[in-house]
A = this chain, B = another copy of it.
Amino acid sequence: MASQSKTEARRSKILKAAQKVFAHKGFHDATIAEIARAAGVSEGSIYEYFSSKEGVLFAIPLEVTRESHELSQVHLSLIRGAANRLRALVYMYLSLYESNPDYSSVILLTLKQNQKFRETEAYEMIRDGFRNITAIIKSGMANGEFRPDINPYVVRSVLMGAVDHLTTNWLMDGRRGSLTELVDPVLDVVMEGVLTKDPRSASDLHWSAWQRTGRASGPQEA
């Protein structure tokens, strides 16, 4: 937003370069030398901005997660209905991953295996995002939009699991096809078991309108 200081720009350049290199090589096979080269800075400079190689890795999701968090808050505040909100969130995740494949790769393939990442501020924010989803599901259950007998944790896992799974396959199979056009097919399948059978209780929450878009016919196959 605001003009960045020169040092801020350098930091950012390093982070972008690291994202790319980590995405293509993984954490261990990426070298500081390579990141430095990709960023156009010296190896020593990286240690002016980050404490270690792992520090660089952990810093990658910080900005994005923060921005996404804020963005999602803005968007969600405009949307009515738990179902519509869940759809929006799935869309935001898939859209974010689709537009930033290197970032997705780091998040889904590199950071996921890192035990230490779980003690990180960035991970806490990701977890916040998850908690938010659970909260939305619970609110849907509370207002009668969702069935009372669903397990919110399971529903969240089904949605987020689908997002991760689809994205991971998309990444490893060469990024063919579109991720975002899978949003509706996924939601169609899942929401049927989440929404209350009685359409009247949810009609004013715009779900039915969206649901009318029908069931998509995804092309991908592994």
Mask for A156-192, Cβ within 8 A of B = 1, else 0?
A: 0110111111101100100000000010011011111
Task: State how many angstroms separate the Cβ of A101 from the closest Cβ of chain B.
Answer: 14
* Interface: A151 (CB within 8 A): yes
Q: Which of A180-222 contact B (CB under 8 A)?
A: 182, 185-186, 188-194, 214-222
Rounded to whole Å, the gap between the CB of A64 and the closest CB of chain B is: 19
Give the docked Cα–Cα distance between A167 and B110 (Å).
17
Interface size on A, residues (CB 8 A): 54
Copies in the complex: 4
Asked if B192 and A149 sit within 8 Å, CB to CB, the answer is: no
Measured between beta carbons, the chain B residues less than 8 angstroms from A182 are 151, 154
Q: Which residues of the partner chain B approach A190 to less than 8 Å between Cβ atoms?
A: 158, 189-190, 193
Do A134 and B221 form a contact, CB below 8 Å, given A113-B112, A154-B185, A166-B157?
A: yes
Partner of A158, one of B114, B131, B162: B162
